[in-house]
Amino acid sequence: MSRRIEVNGLSKDFTLHLQGGQQMSILSGIDMQVDAGECVVIHAPSGAGKSTLLRSLYANYRASSGQVNIWHDGAWVDVQSAPARQVLTVRHHTLGFVTQFLRVIPRISTLDLVAEPLINRGVEKQVAHEQAEELLSRLRIPKRLWHIPPATFSGGEQQRVNIARTMICDYPILLLDEPTASLDEANRGTVIDMINAARERGVAVVGIFHDEAVRQALATRIFSIPAAQAVSLVAA
Ligand SMILES: Nc1ncnc2c1ncn2[C@@H]1O[C@H](COP(=O)(O)OP(=O)(O)OP(=O)(O)O)[C@@H](O)[C@H]1O
């Protein structure tokens, strides 16, 4: 199998500025490898650092030490030390990230928002819109909502728009932070099918899923944040 993610010795401390600069150690010395066609589920108690780890894979968080190597365009890129421009290129082509919350852009319709990542890749507007419509239908977003911005949508509707916006690009790596948290059973089933289909095509998936049934349906492997990682305060 081809390796897609290689994490070496990743540590993350947060500085608590309101506590006199005290340091809180969340992750320490994490090693993790993910291959194409795997769905690795990060599983640990609440507050143990699951989202912190996922955000570090996307370089949203700057690690205190360690590497996050992403297989991008035929070579390894350590997104923790790469220049910001290169990180953006890696995200644009290689890393899809679904968070629980949609970043709404004022006045942009749902259809345009979902089609946008494809259009940015040079796909013709009409083709991108057709694919966006297909995904929105599959995710049961009613047609009457397609031409208005999703700012006023329900939590579950926004979450599905967010999923469509990521799934429209065939990213080789998907990072998923609770993508099914606000969904009803039918939509949860659709999203599970989409993620499994992506994995079977060879996408490397890393996700956080609190729901045991969702974990069972998706995980090819569980990654536990080691017990020794229990959150600890370190002297400033
Ligand atoms: N930007 C930040 N600044 C300071 N502390 C942070 C920051 N982000 C996360 N933390 C702290 O790091 C710890 C781990 O948070 P994280 O969100 O990664 O946990 P989690 O395992 O995903 O939790 P949950 O399952 O409840 O979502 C928490 O104690 C949190 O308060």
pLDDT in tens, 201-216: 999 999 999 999 999 9
Residue owning tokens 């956080």: 208
Q: Do 30 and 66 meet the contact criterion of CB atoms below 8 Å apart?
A: yes
| Residue of 12, 24, 42, 51 to mutate, ligand 1, most atoms within 8 A of C-beta | 51
* Contact status, residue 129 vs residue 115, Cβ threshold 8 Å: yes
DSSP for 31-71, please give it.
EEEEETT-EEEEE--TTSSHHHHHHHHTTSS--SEEEEEEE
> Measuring from atom 28 of ligand 1, which residue has the nearest CA?
47
Nearest-atom number in ligand 1 for the CA of 225 is: 21
Strand (E) or helix (H) holding 228: none
Beta-carbon neighbour count of residue 227 at 10 Å?
9
| Cβ-contact 46, 211 below 8 angstroms | no
Report the share of the chain in percent with pLDDT over 70.
95
Cα distance between residue 141 and residue 132, in whole Å: 11
The tokens for 172 are: 């080789």
Q: How far is the CA of 56 from the centre of ligand 1 (A)?
A: 12
51 Cα to the center of ligand 1, angstroms: 7
Mean pLDDT of 156-161: 93
48 lines ligand 1 (CB under 6 A): yes
Q: Tell me, what's the pLDDT at 232?
A: 58
- Give me ligand 1 centre to Cα 118, in Å: 32
What integer pLDDT is reported at residue 135 of this predicted model? 97
57 touches ligand 1 (CB under 6 Å) = no
Q: Ligand 1 atom 17: the closest Cα is on which residue? A: 51
* Ligand 1 centroid to residue 229 C-alpha, Å: 13
Per-residue pLDDT at 104 exceeds 80: no
Nearest CA to ligand 1 atom 27: 46
Question: At residue 145, does pLDDT exceed 70?
Answer: yes
Number of H helices, E strands in the chain: 7, 10
In ligand 1, the atom with minimum distance to the C-alpha of 14 is: 4
Q: Please give the average per-residue pLDDT across 120-142, as a whole number.
A: 96
Task: Return the bridge partners of 3, or none.
Answer: 35
- Would the pLDDT of 173 be above 60? yes
Mean pLDDT within 85-97: 96
Distance CA 85, CA 83 (A): 5
Rounded Cα distance between 184 and 75, Å, is 40
pLDDT tops 80 at residue 231:
no
Beta pairing partners, 39: 205
pLDDT > 90? residue 227: no
